[in-house]
Amino acid sequence: MTEPRWSRNGRFFGCGTALVTPFTRAGDVDEGALRALVDWQIAEGIHYLVPCGSTGEAATMTPSEHRRVVEIVVEQTRGRVPVVAGAGSNDTRKAVSLSREMRDAGATHLLHVSPMYNKPPQRGIVAHFRTIADATDLPIIVYNVPGRTGSNIEARTTLELASLPNVVGIKEASGNLGQILDVLRERPPHFSVLSGDDAMTLAVMAGGGDGLVSVTSNAAPRAMAELVECGARGDAAATRDLHFRLAPWMQAAFVEPNPIPVKAALAMMGRIENVLRLPLVPLAEPHAAAVRASLVDAGALER
């Protein structure tokens, strides 16, 4: 039987966009802009969508807004691609509750970040994810991002979590290629390893990875999806060429904390209003020219 586009060799695969959440000038969720963004992402060939993560400013959403954003993405997707809903919390009970909310909202998968701020030991991280996995039947992708959480999920811990039946992969944003390669070397066959850093995708795919959850694909979905597809085919030259073309945008997208630059980029492209929720603020004007130039290099904007 033919696998869907978001599955390769029995593993979750592809480039998924960590969606921004468009807001109106009044500060409300901009449902029209969000629906249009979903349709455009799918038309451009993205493999799956990831609403309500850090790029989606989930930390500043009310519970009802969080659920509604996922419902909108599910409704607009209409089953065309998976919806991997952010459901993380540093309170395990809240993470369990939010997992059930996301299931009821129609998500196909869950993205669970390692507990932030608490800095649990590795056995606490295992206990956290085991409790969540026991409470839901949805597939779970673990998210390791020490730069935001304050603690790293070590390779041995990731491999222990991979033994849980519904933990199907990890979004790895540690920036530690050696650690990522350790996981790739010893993972079970079903377990997907996704880059959590756009700029690391070339190296992760070369090591046998299965794709990435991308910030930059908000503005350049087709090119980022093609980069992953080329990497999966083993076309090193094409993957490298795409990486080099996109590298200025990958750098500019993080010139200030995410999602400040990517929201500015989408506003330049006329796709959303450049509105963020405090404490995030719009891109500093001195960075605007570099962001615009990088979008031109990426083919996302005309000169």
Q: Where are the beta strands (DSSP E) in the chain?
A: 7-8, 11-12, 14-18, 48-50, 84-86, 109-113, 140-144, 167-172, 192-195, 211-214
The two structure tokens encoding residue 47: 């493999």
> DSSP 3-state assignment of 163?
coil
- Alpha carbons within 13 A on the beta-carbon side of 50: 31
**Cα(221)–Cα(59) distance, integer angstroms:** 24
Peptide bond before residue 279 is cis, with ω within 30 degrees of 0: yes
Query: Is residue 173 within 8 Å of 228, Cβ to Cβ?
Result: no
48, 117, 143, 263: the catalytic one is 143
Query: 64: exposed, middle or buried (C-beta count within 10 Å: 0-12, 13-18, 19+)?
Result: exposed
Query: Is residue 109 within 8 Å of 140, Cβ to Cβ?
Result: yes
Which residues, 6 or more positions from 106, have their beta carbon under 8 angstroms from its beta carbon?
Answer: 70, 71, 74, 75, 83
**Cα(87)–Cα(53) distance, integer angstroms:** 8
143 is catalytic: yes
48, 94, 171, 263: the catalytic one is 171
Residue 194 C-alpha from the chain's centroid: 9
117 is catalytic: no
At residue 165, what is the residue type? P
Which residues on neighbouring strands pair with residue 213, listed in sequence order?
A: 16
Residues annotated as part of the active site: 143, 171
